[in-house]
Structure 1
Amino acid sequence: MPFSLRPPRSLRHRLLLTMAVGVLAVQLIGNLIWAVQLQHQARQELTEAATQIAGSAAEAIRFFRALPPNYRPILLEQLREMGGTRFFVTVNQHPVTLRPIQHEPLLDLVTETVTHTIQRQSPERLQVAFAWPERLPVSDEGATVEDLPENWVAHTLLLQPRPAPVLVIQTEIESGDWLYLASVMPDPYFLDSHNPFPPDRLLLQVLTLVVVLLLSAWVVRWLTQPLAQLAAHADAFGKGVGMGPLPENSSQEFLKTAAVFREMQERIQRFLDDRERLFASISHDLRTPITRLKLRTELLDDETLKADYHEDLDELDMMVKGALQSVKDTDIHENQTTVRLDTLLERMAHVARLAGHEVTLDLAPTTLIARPLAIKRAIGNLLDNALRYGDQVEISLCRQADLFHLQLRDHGPGIPEAQLNQLFSPYTRLPHGKARNQQGMGLGLSIAKNIIHAHGGKLVLRNHPAGGLIAHIELPVPTDHTLTAASQGGA
């Protein structure tokens, strides 16, 4: 399966991710530029310093080569006691074996520069290397820096406050005599000073990133919290829950959006009220002329014609009653409150068992925010259908992630797959349903679906592989905002 990066779905997380990536990118580019410049500057400075040291070393080599051999010990004694040179100097019969510092590009640059500079002036055998002063050998007899008097090396080799790399130059000034020169660089701790990412700089980078992210988190929260409140108000409005006024201390753009949202709420509410009054009024007013027509039909002498009129009028009367029932059941005027759905199902199952039906339950404790009578009517319609056509019903209720899942399974004949979606249309009845219930109008499933949708849920019908029909309901788990609003509304 190919790997793909998906951006976070939350606006808050997207903004934080953008800020974090932006700051990291700026720091990375800045550090890269800084490292390149620092490396170039370090190489240039070290090349100049190495050239100067190499020049001094070349002069010392020429001087000791020109000095008579019997005068060399005297001069070395004077240099050790009185100083006056940047090198610690000694003469050995063989080159001293060192433990050079490995894998340091800056050290390699210095040794190469010193080697090339000295060899141009004195092409004799030459060895150049950096070594740490700890147990640094200074003679072919095995003596180390620690064995020397402090005043011999105090002015040439830096041992305190912490050791620095020592540059050791060895060259053969004549057969059997090797001149040993040791010194530190003009900047003894150049390896640290030219490190592009010292600990203090990394700490500063981390602190900068943390501060920027904290400020970004605060700003993003300040920007997105009103949007979350607006979404909660929109969701509550869709479910008929009052959430109070929106905050008025936010940005100007949010205040404009909130004002438009309030106007939209008012227009939708006026439309719903007008639709309800109009539909109920028309349906109610139609019953009077239908009754008059039935009375006038009784005056007809033709029995066949009278029966035809009665059949048409009965069908029309059933449609009007169904319309009134639909309005009554789906537009129940009650406030949303907390409902223990598992307790409600237990009561409904108890009533069904008293009527002689077989109902099995598998319920998890569930608290729902709903209109109690409406949700009871919706589930009651589904349960009545299941008991009427399936005799035995199995009910299960559980929670998965942010949804409650309620299933009612009967053991009836099921429904043809092609006709499952048609059952939610008003006045739709299948042949086997008409055979079992002559008085039904085909509104139960339509009403149940409308009520479930009004609660932000979903109702799906499907056949069970072993036979029977499953009514599957998904309802959203209430949020803290909804619970608070529902409790205030219930109070």
Structure 2
Amino acid sequence: MRFSLKPYLPKGLFERSLLIIVLPVALMQGAVTWAFFEQHWQTTTARLSESVAGEVALVVRLYERDGPEQFDALANLAFATTDLSVEYREGDTLPTTRRTAFFRALDRTLRSALGAELDHAFWFDTTRYPSYVDIRVQVDGGVLRFIAVRDRVFATTGHIFLIWLFIATGLLLIVAILFIRNQVKPIRQLAEAAEAFGRGQDVERFKPAGAREVRRASAAFLDMRGRLKRHIEQRTQLLAGVSHDLRTPLTRLRLQLALMPASEERDAARRDLADMEAALEEYLAFARGQAGEEADALDLTALCETLADDAAREGVDLELELEDGLTASARESALKRALANLVSNAAAHAQTVRLSARRNGSRIEILIDDDGPGIPGDQREEAFKPFSRLDESRNANRKGVGLGLAIARDTLRAHGGELRLEDSPLGGLRARVSLPA
């Protein structure tokens, strides 16, 4: 099984850009830090520790040679030549406890140097005094205590290097975050404007910004949005004219049929005329979409209750299972028309129709279930095509011209939602509507 880092990598452009900048810098600084401590700092510290350890060993050997009687002269000589402060503690023993320095490498280096130079038991403390190191060596009759200047034992510039390294890294990270955020912001605004336009909303204040390539993409989006808006306006005006031109002769035909004597031919002509008017209205509704209506905060729970009241007036007993407080940004008339279309479609082919609404994470789901004959799985996508009429088992648009589901799906997608057909627990068809909360 191959291991892949892809699932663990960030998905956002901001996070990826930051990773591209920060990761190489972090690797480079890690390499520099390792080289500094491994090749320079530790080597320098080892040399200093070895030097002090040699001086301590020399003083110990001179003490053993000359004895306690010459200790004062030896101490003065050591302080004058090596800056080591030496104290003889007669009858004393080495401490049994030891405190470890934060950088344990310091203790390891000094312990190794003293162990290589001394044949006696020793003890040291690098933490008690900030500027000094306490070294004690067990000798006959007592303990020799050495106080060495810390700068002579260790290279003390290591922490300064780390501080400057962390400061430089922090400044670089802040600059990278500010720069990348300013570069990503126009892309995010472009994506938000495109999503809003896809839902039928318009972002009038959107302007091209950012890098040259992002500005070109933004300008192309604005050109495309302008062309689509002009196309929609022209289509709406054209259909309004077609509606006016067709309604006039249809009205004359209806009046002419009303003046004709009753006959089977007249009744058939009236039915044909009614079908023509229904087809015209349905086609206009499909082509017109949601033009002219602005999105606003909508109480979906109240909307579903209104649908139930409207269905009851038409003789449909609609079962409700609703959560309280379901709201979404939507065009009330368009969304109500789409849901009413689904409810009426279910009621036309079933005895029991259930409407339920619930929150599912960041989405709101509206389910319309029925106990009718349903639609076979391989024909459900076909049912969404305009002017599609399913004649087998269930005619999804028996009363129209095959635009009901197409209008509903087009409306829901314009709201950032989706419509899917599934098997219903009631045995028929389920229409699952998903909308952003």
TM-score interval (norm. to shorter): 0.7 to 0.9
With structure 2 as the length reference, what TM-score do the two structures score? 0.75
Please give the residue correspondences for 1:339-354 in structure 2 after superposition, counting only pairs within 5 Å.
Answer: 339-354=298-313
Check if 1:184 corresponds to 2:153. no
Cα distance change, pair 202–398 in 1 and its aligned pair in 2 (3 A): farther
Cα distance change, pair 427–286 in 1 and its aligned pair in 2 (3 A): farther
Which piece of structure 1 moves more, 374-383 or 440-449? 440-449
Please give the residue correspondences for 1:385-404 in structure 2 after superposition, counting only pairs within 5 Å.
Answer: 385-404=345-364
Q: Which residue of 2 aligns with 1:127?
A: 120
Secondary structure at the counterpart of residue 9 of structure 1: coil
Code of the aligned partner of 1:9: K
Code of the aligned partner of 2:308: A
Q: Which residue of 1 aligns with 2:293?
A: 335
Deviations 1:69-103 (A, max 9, x none): xxx56534x549x94444747698x9966648698
Deviations 1:104-154 (A, max 9, x none): 321232223323xxxxxxxxxx425233599xxxxxxxxxxxxxxxxxxxx
Check if 1:357 corresponds to 2:316. yes
With structure 1 as the length reference, what TM-score do the two structures score? 0.68
CA positional deviation for 1:470: 0.8
Check if 1:166 corresponds to 2:135. yes
Match of 1:459 among 419, 422, 426: 419
Cα distance change, pair 443–165 in 1 and its aligned pair in 2 (3 A): same
| Distance in 2 (alpha carbons) for counterparts of 1:243 and 1:190 | 69
Deviations 1:153-212 (A, max 9, x none): xxxxxx977762214264xxxxxxx4867353754466664584x4x6655555444443
CA positional deviation for 1:322: 2.9
Please give the residue correspondences for 1:18-167 in structure 2 after superposition, counting only pairs within 5 Å.
Answer: 18-36=20-38, 37-61=40-64, 63-64=65-66, 74-76=69-71, 79=73, 83-86=76-79, 88=86, 99=96, 104-115=107-118, 126-132=119-125, 164-167=133-136
Deviations 1:264-284 (A, max 9, x none): 212233344455566777898
CA positional deviation for 1:442: 2.5
Code of the aligned partner of 2:304: L
Cα distance change, pair 446–91 in 1 and its aligned pair in 2 (3 A): closer
Contact 2:354 2:369 in 1 (8 A): yes
| Distance in 2 (alpha carbons) for counterparts of 1:180 and 1:232 | 81
Q: Which residue of 2 aligns with 1:322?
A: 279
Cα distance change, pair 57–379 in 1 and its aligned pair in 2 (3 A): same
Contact 1:387 1:393 in 2 (8 A): yes
Contact 2:418 2:433 in 1 (8 A): yes
Cα distance change, pair 325–194 in 1 and its aligned pair in 2 (3 A): same
Q: Which residue of 2 aligns with 1:485?
A: none
Match of 2:194 among 234, 238, 241: 234
Contact 1:424 1:445 in 2 (8 A): yes
Contact 2:134 2:148 in 1 (8 A): no
Contact 2:94 2:138 in 1 (8 A): no
Cα-Cα RMSD: 4.3
Code of the aligned partner of 2:322: L
Match of 1:384 among 338, 344, 368: 344
Q: Which residue of 2 aligns with 1:484?
A: none
Match of 1:220 among 172, 180, 190: 180
Cα distance change, pair 59–420 in 1 and its aligned pair in 2 (3 A): same
Q: What is the number of equivalent residue pairs in this alignment?
A: 404
Match of 2:389 among 428, 438, 454: 428
**Among the aligned pairs, what percent are the same residue?**
24
Contact 1:166 1:184 in 2 (8 A): yes
Cα distance change, pair 262–439 in 1 and its aligned pair in 2 (3 A): closer
CA positional deviation for 1:388: 1.6
Please give the residue correspondences for 1:237-386 in structure 2 after superposition, counting only pairs within 5 Å.
Answer: 237-247=197-207, 250-274=210-234, 322=279, 325-331=282-288, 332-338=290-296, 339-364=298-323, 365-386=325-346
Q: Which residue of 2 aligns with 1:298?
A: none
Secondary structure at the counterpart of residue 319 of structure 2: strand
Cα distance change, pair 288–98 in 1 and its aligned pair in 2 (3 A): closer
Deviations 1:358-390 (A, max 9, x none): 212222323332333222211111010112212
| Distance in 1 (alpha carbons) for counterparts of 2:354 and 2:56 | 94
Contact 2:371 2:428 in 1 (8 A): yes
Match of 1:12 among 11, 14, 20: 14
| Distance in 2 (alpha carbons) for counterparts of 1:271 and 1:390 | 40
Code of the aligned partner of 1:408: I
CA positional deviation for 1:230: 1.3
CA positional deviation for 1:348: 1.5
| Distance in 2 (alpha carbons) for counterparts of 1:113 and 1:442 | 96
CA positional deviation for 1:52: 4.2
| Distance in 2 (alpha carbons) for counterparts of 1:194 and 1:161 | 11
Structure 1 unaligned segments of length 5 or more: list them.
65-71, 116-125, 135-158, 171-177, 292-306, 478-491
| Distance in 1 (alpha carbons) for counterparts of 2:370 and 2:89 | 106
CA positional deviation for 1:405: 1.0
Contact 2:375 2:394 in 1 (8 A): no
| Distance in 1 (alpha carbons) for counterparts of 2:244 and 2:388 | 18
| Distance in 2 (alpha carbons) for counterparts of 1:46 and 1:389 | 94
CA positional deviation for 1:38: 0.2
| Distance in 2 (alpha carbons) for counterparts of 1:367 and 1:326 | 30
Code of the aligned partner of 1:354: R
CA positional deviation for 1:459: 0.7
Code of the aligned partner of 1:393: V
Deviations 1:239-270 (A, max 9, x none): 22221132456444433332222112122333
CA positional deviation for 1:407: 0.7
Cα distance change, pair 15–411 in 1 and its aligned pair in 2 (3 A): same
Structure 2 unaligned segments of length 5 or more: list them.
252-264
